[in-house]
Amino acid sequence: MFLIFGSILLALYFEPILSILAVQKNEIRTYESLDGLWTFVREPTNYGDLGITNEWYSNDLSKFDNATVMPVPSAYNDLGTSSELRDHIGWVWYEKKEIIPFRDQQFRHFLRFASVNYFAVVYVNSQKVTTHVGGHLPFEVDVSQYLKFGIENKFTVAVNNTLSWATIPQGDFNYQKASSRNISGRMLSRLPSGAFKDVGNFDFFNYAGILRSVQLVKLPSSYIENIIIVADHTGSFYYETAISDLNNGLVVESKIFDDNNLVVFKSNSTKGEGQLENAKLWWPRGMGKPNLYILEITLLSSDGQVVDVYRETFGFRTVSLTESQMLINQKPFYCLGFGMHEDFELSGRGFNQVVMTKDLNLLEWMGGNCYRTTHYPYAEERMAENDRRGIAVIVETPAVGLKGFPKANNNLHIKMLTDMIDRDKNHPSVIAWSLANEPVTKKKESRNYFRSLVETAHGIDRTRPVTTVYGPTNFDDDQTADLMDFICVNRYYGWYIDMGQMEWINQSVYWDLSLWKETFKKPLMVTEYGADSILGLNQEPSVDFSEQYQSELIHQTHLAFDALRKDHTITGEMIWNFADFMTGMTTTRAVGNHKGVFTRTRQAKMAAYTLRNRYLSLFNQTDLPLWDTKKQLY
Ligand X SMILES: *[C@@H]1O[C@H](CO)[C@@H](O)[C@H](O)[C@H]1NC(C)=O
Interacting residues toward ligand X by CB under 6 A:
41-44, 46-48, 50, 64, 66, 90-91, 119, 160, 162, 164, 166-167, 182, 185, 187, 251, 253, 266-268, 300, 367, 506-507, 510, 559-560, 563, 616, 619-620
- Helix ranges (DSSP H) in 297-442: 353-365, 380-389, 407-424
All residues at 6 or more sequence positions from 413 whose CB lies less than 8 Å from its CB, including other chains:
169, 397, 399, 436, 449, 453
All residues at 6 or more sequence positions from 617 whose CB lies less than 8 Å from its CB, including other chains:
none
All residues at 6 or more sequence positions from 49 whose CB lies less than 8 Å from its CB, including other chains:
91
Distances from the Cα of 518 to the Cα of 485, 507, 514, 521, 626, angstroms: 15, 16, 6, 6, 19
Minimal CB distance to ligand X: which residue?
90
Q: Which member of 342, 438, 528, 573 is catalytic?
A: 438
Pick the closer one to ligand X by CB: 164 or 313.
164
Q: Is 102 helix (H, G, I), strand (E, B) or coil?
A: helix
CA atoms 21, 25, 31, 33: torsion sign: positive
All residues at 6 or more sequence positions from 429 whose CB lies less than 8 Å from its CB, including other chains:
282, 284, 290, 315, 383, 386, 387, 390, 391, 392, 393
Residues in the chain, overall count: 634
Instruction: Tell me the closest approach of the beta carbon of residue 107 to ligand X, in angstroms.
Output: 24
Burial 472-487 (b: 16+ CB within 10 A, else e): ebebeebbbbebbbbb
In SS3 terms, 217-271 reads as EEECCCCEEEEEEEECCCCEEEEEEEECCCCCCCEEEEEEECCCCCEEEEECCCE
β-bridge mates for residue 189, sequence order? 180
Cis peptide before 541 (omega within 30 of 0): yes
Q: Is 614 helix (H, G, I), strand (E, B) or coil?
A: helix
Which is nearest to 293 in space by CA: 349, 243, 229? 229
Distance CA 632, CA 321 (A): 5
Q: HSE, CB side, 13 Å, CA atoms: give it for residue 600.
A: 18
Which is nearest to 418 in space by CA: 389, 397, 440, 390? 397
Distance CA 597, CA 542 (A): 16
Distance CA 183, CA 181 (A): 6
Distance CA 23, CA 303 (A): 27
- Widest distance between CA atoms in the chain: 90
Hey, how many other C-beta atoms are within 10 angstroms of the C-beta on 61? Answer: 20
Whether residue 345 lies in the annotated active site: no
Which amino acid is it at 282?
W
Distances from the Cα of 68 to the Cα of 37, 53, 77, 534, 545, angstroms: 10, 21, 14, 36, 40
CA atoms 583, 589, 592, 596: torsion sign: negative
β-bridge mates for residue 576, sequence order? none
> Catalytic positions, please?
438
